[in-house]
Chain A
Amino acid sequence: MVNQLSYFKESASQTAGPYVHIGLAPHAAGFDIFEKNFSNVLAGPDTKGERIRIEGRVIDGSGTPLRDVLLEIWQANAAGKYNHPADRQKKPIDETFRGWGRACSDFETGVWAFETVKPGVVTGRKGRPMAPHVNLWIVARGINIGLNTRMYFSDEEKANAADPVLNLIEWEVRRKTLIGKREERGGKIAYKFDIHLQGPEETVFFDV
């Protein structure tokens, strides 16, 4: 016998199931139970930065959009600072911006959306800058463990080309699955980001 390591084992993941909305987004699912609700709107009226909408679908292996998926995003503010005590970069926190939101896909079309601001550059490992990105986490019926991915911005070509995480993806052709496409709609900026769970366009998911 040797000394025993005393680490605890992480609890096993289980699918969020078909009714995840009543638990995590009851208000969005038309169920009024909590006074205060989390939402897909991250930016308040006083939040600094370029207002953007991030919009997309999550598509299964048959090409069908999931209509029961739930997504969360986590991102830095416009200055590239996370609203969190572990972020010790010398950049200002925006008190009006937590940087986190949660959205359900539309029950008919499968489209989900976040209203936020475009994040700034965050310093990554070994001091290397990471191109602006939002972190996404995807759960649904049939997904046994939450999927982690990132969305980068199509108008940040230069920063994307130098991004340490995008460059970690051996297959250059797969890097484009992480790029949200900038569109202008009536003066408003939207980034389209479809997530493919399978197939030739399968999105890159990370083991974080």
Chain B
Amino acid sequence: MPEDSVQYGEFMQRDRTIHPPAYTPQYKTSVLRSPQKSLIALQNSLSEITGPIFRSDELGPLDHDLIMNYAKDGLPIGERIVVHGCVYDENGRGVPNALVEVWQANAGGRYRHKKDSYIAPIDPNFGGCGRVLTDRDGHYVYRTIKPGPYPWRNSVNDWRPAHIHYGVSGSGWAQRLITQMYFEGDPLIASCPIVRTIPSEAAIRQLIAPLDKNAAIQLDSLAYRFDIVIRGSRATWFESTVSDDDSMQRE
């Protein structure tokens, strides 16, 4: 459960300039799936400030160990890595008890999913998903196999850089975020149409995890560090005296 010291409140407005717009024709699937009308701006109510709280007893002991959580008769093939980092809010505070869910392809770039028909084989000892709750400082860690890059049909020769998908859930509904982690030095990042949906170079760099040799397990696994930032509460020292409906159509 979150610490008593956690302060709940309305979130700062989302900075949409760092996020991909809905319509990004270079990523073709977005064309028919992007809303065309403007989002309606909503000031936070309890519906957005609150959100599901997860408990550690809902997770199993191997949920954060992708090397072992699907191992059947041996270990999965590929580079053994530890991935760790902190979930921060925009105020720079670690977010305790955030649910971090990850999923990925195996070392050959193949997902254990019935819709994935890539020629690289399924690894009988690798599932490719895990989850972990952050500790009181917002830190999380899991270990896995480094995923491989893979081709996908967007243009005929588009390749996804190696990546791990993340779902992050903080204490409030409005903080919910899905993103992807990339690996330092991957030459495919620069040309990936999905990466390129992000309009800001700084925001792209924020999704690239550096090698963190200090966190490696000696003679066993390398490590990468991936910090994530989700939305933070805004200051509410004074309450607005303007009614919410008042200035609705003032431009």
Contact = CB atoms under 8 A, between A and B. Distances in A.
Interface of A: 6-24, 26, 29-31, 33-36, 60-62, 64, 66, 68, 72, 74, 76, 82-87, 89, 98-100, 107, 122-126, 130, 133, 135, 137, 139-148, 150, 164-165, 167-170, 174, 197-198, 202-208
B180 interface: yes
A21 to B, nearest CB: 7
A99 B63 contact: no
B115 A123 contact: no
Given A123-B46, A147-B35, A170-B248, A19 B103 contact: yes
B92 A7 contact: yes
Given A60-B33, A140-B33, A205-B35, A13 B179 contact: yes
Contact of B52 (A29, A60, A98): A98
13 contacts: A9-B18, A10-B14, A12-B179, A15-B29, A16-B165, A16-B178, A20-B103, A61-B32, A99-B52, A164-B244, A198-B32, A203-B35, A204-B37
Contacts of A164: 244-245
B250 interface: no
Q: Which applies to chain A's interface (DSSP): helix, strand, loop or mixed?
A: loop
A60 B15 CA distance: 26
Interface string B29-69: 11111111101111111111111110000111001000001
A197 B8 CA distance: 32
Nearest to A89: B46
Contacts of B48: 135, 208
